[in-house]
Amino acid sequence: MSHRDIIHLNIADFAAGIEACIDPALRNEPLVIAPTGAPRAVVYDMNEPAFKEGIRKGMPLSRVKRQHRGVPVLPPRFNRYERAMKDVFKQGLTYTPAVESGCRDGHLFLDITGTSRLYGPPPDVAFRLKKSVKKSLGLEPIWSLATSKLVAKVATRMVKPLGEYIVGPGEEEAFLGPLPLSLLPGLSKEEIRTATRFNLVRISQIRTLTPAQMDIPFPGRAAAVRRLLKGIDPSPVSPSRPGRLRADHEFADDTNDADELTAGLALMAAALAGRLCSRNETLRSLTLTISYSDGVCHTESAKAQGGLESALFRQSRSLFRAAWKRRVRIRHMALTCTAGPVAPVQADLFASPGPDNSPRTDRLSGAMAEIRARFGNAAVRPAAALAIP
């Protein structure tokens, strides 16, 4: 099998970096991103000076405030991070259509296999991409180049918070060998803990085990783990599919008020339905992502059950019920759908001509879309959205 050229861009401390770009005074001092009004809030992100002071993601904010008095704390602004992520994504698209981005986390994978005739040697593409991201966002990403996503990801972890790493084809095993197990993606915390109990802390140590021995710390997963240890990862860089629409809502204050959350869902459903209508497309699948105030995200997906606003709203509510698993307040929700052309429907041979026979809900949705197209989204809104002023 011919090798692949995978670039991994990792903008360390993405959220804190974006905030520091907006206010450069925050750049060289410790900065923490965490919900300020939420009880039991935890750190969502922090910059390098804060990291050096011992502040970590997921740390309770109350503890940070107690131990590091005077450290500025900013609430997370997911919309900003998302816009910045989109910008980086677009820059990646200039080199390859195979770009995969994380969820507002500053991570981007690009598969640039076979593009060297157009854009030059892969290290040069990675280097130019880094420079263009730095120029447009003011943030310097770490970059790595390897033959798989797994190895590329480990490579950027090696040089955090700044730098680059090229792992040449055929060097994967030698590169991974001396590294601690904790750097390898794809292993659960429990698996790492078990291996450590057996005094197996380096990747090269585990490679020496027989399959039967491997089955003890990694029951049922020995073969999969062995592949990981060798740096074998055939998973493709999954580009975001065309025809994907997205609406999101960020709450002014973190909330777990059911009415407010329902209102947010209604607004997103209305926005998506309007866009589907204007593109004359129908819904294929629906995904809801909710982001808690501590930065934890939950996602639920389902196949579409109808593209009208009312159906979209109903379905997003059921997705929400499945995704809402914690008592922590919610800061942000995003509704993403895949869409496609409306399937041609054969007209009823004996349908009576005359007034529109479509159901009332269809006609209502159509009318609302028309009003919104003419007077703006705020001109008409579902009653369920009234909880949000």
Site residues (vs other proteins, CB under 8 A)? 2-3, 113-114, 116-121, 123-124, 126-127, 147, 163-166, 168-171, 174
Q: Which CB, 4 or 104, lies closer to other proteins?
A: 4
Cα–Cα distance measured from residue 176 to residue 210, given in angstroms and rounded to the nearest whole number: 19
Q: Which CB, 155 or 388, lies closer to other proteins?
A: 155
For the record, the structure tokens of 370 come out as 């028309």
CA neighbor of 222 nearest in space, from 232, 234, 209, 233: 209
- Tell me the closest approach of the beta carbon of residue 58 to other proteins, in angstroms: 31
- Tell me the closest approach of the beta carbon of residue 194 to other proteins, in angstroms: 29
- Tell me the closest approach of the beta carbon of residue 123 to other proteins, in angstroms: 4
Distance in Å from the first CA to the final CA of the chain:
58
Q: Which CB, 159 or 297, lies closer to other proteins?
A: 159
DSSP codes, 283-335:
EEEEEEEEEETTS-EEEEEEE-S--SHHHHHHHHHHHHHHH---SSPEEEEEE
Cβ neighbors of 16 (< 8 A, separation 6 or more) are: 31, 32, 33, 45, 46, 47, 50
- Tell me the closest approach of the beta carbon of residue 234 to other proteins, in angstroms: 15
- Tell me the closest approach of the beta carbon of residue 165 to other proteins, in angstroms: 6
Q: Which CB, 57 or 128, lies closer to other proteins?
A: 128
User: 38-45: which pairs have CB atoms within 8 A and are 24 or more residues apart?
Assistant: 38/254, 38/293, 38/294, 38/328, 38/329, 40/328, 41/293, 41/294, 42/294, 42/295, 43/295, 44/15, 44/76, 44/294, 44/295, 45/13, 45/14, 45/15, 45/16, 45/76, 45/295
- Tell me the closest approach of the beta carbon of residue 151 to other proteins, in angstroms: 13
What is the maximum alpha-carbon separation in the chain? Answer: 80
For the record, the structure tokens of 284 come out as 């294929």
ω before 161 within 30° of 0 (cis)? yes
Distance from the Cα of residue 160 to its chain's centroid: 20
Q: Which CB, 124 or 259, lies closer to other proteins?
A: 124
Q: Which CB, 169 or 341, lies closer to other proteins?
A: 169
- Tell me the closest approach of the beta carbon of residue 110 to other proteins, in angstroms: 16
User: Could you tell me how many residues make up the chain?
Assistant: 389
Q: Are 286 and 355 in contact (CB under 8 A)?
A: no
Q: Which CB, 122 or 295, lies closer to other proteins?
A: 122
Q: Are 264 and 251 in contact (CB under 8 A)?
A: yes
- Tell me the closest approach of the beta carbon of residue 120 to other proteins, in angstroms: 4
For the record, the structure tokens of 95 come out as 């080199």
- Tell me the closest approach of the beta carbon of residue 170 to other proteins, in angstroms: 3
Q: Which CB, 126 or 184, lies closer to other proteins?
A: 126
Q: Which CB, 113 or 196, lies closer to other proteins?
A: 113
Q: Are 222 and 209 in contact (CB under 8 A)?
A: no
Q: Which CB, 89 or 119, lies closer to other proteins?
A: 119
Q: Torsion angle of alpha carbons 339, 340, 341, 344, nearest 10°? A: -110
Q: What DSSP state is assigned to residue 353?
A: P
- Tell me the closest approach of the beta carbon of residue 52 to other proteins, in angstroms: 17
